[in-house]
Amino acid sequence: MSADNLYTVFDRMMSREEKETVLKQKSHVFWFYGLSGSGKSTLAIKLERFISSNEKHCVLLDGDNIRSGLNNNLGFSEEDRAENIRRISEVTKLFLNNGTIALASFITPFNHLRETAKKIVGDQDLSLIYVKASFEECAQRDVKGLYGKAKAGKVKNFTGQQSAFEEPSSSDLVLDTEKETEEESFNKLLQYMKAKIAF
């Protein structure tokens, strides 16, 4: 179907502001990125539980969950990685516009992918949170057994090995899980989140 035949109803729907009023909260997207095993999901899950325990509404989008469903037709080529992030960005924008606090946890290995997310979601509505740990540290943790599989040649285009991971040119918050304890990183995250959305 041609775009000329689409008739959106955004102008007739409840506004984001109206939904935020109903939910008694400010919506925002907190986007966690970093190498596999750096601690993205751990911190995002912990934040989800904290937000929910304070009777606020949030949703957590995690890389493996999304790839097992919505994006299960995508591989790990550069083109598929770009499409993966584009779709996720559009989904998080939907949650944002419905007054929800969205937590996105995805490797997002390249600066241009992070910029794509910001462009789609909106610069003021998305916080990029770099969960930092070296390839060597993540390989030692090997939480999912992926580093061992990649070393044995069983995982193709593995980020940090066959496929690059670009250090961020800028980030709203850096959580160095190699140098900080989980509690220290989480406390920094909480302080940032509370200041960002007047929680």
Please give the Cα distance from 185 to 177 (Å, whole number).
7
pLDDT above 60 (res 149): yes
d(CA 106, CA 197): 22
At the top level of CATH, the class of 23-197 is alpha beta
86 within 8 A of 44, measured Cβ to Cβ: no
Question: How far is Cα 40 from Cα 34, in angstroms, rounded to an integer?
Answer: 7
Give the separation between CA 65 and CA 77, rounded to whole angstroms: 19
- The pLDDT, as a whole number, for residue 131 is 98
Give CA–CA dist 23/178, Å, rounded: 36
pTM: 0.90
Percent of the chain with pLDDT over 90: 72
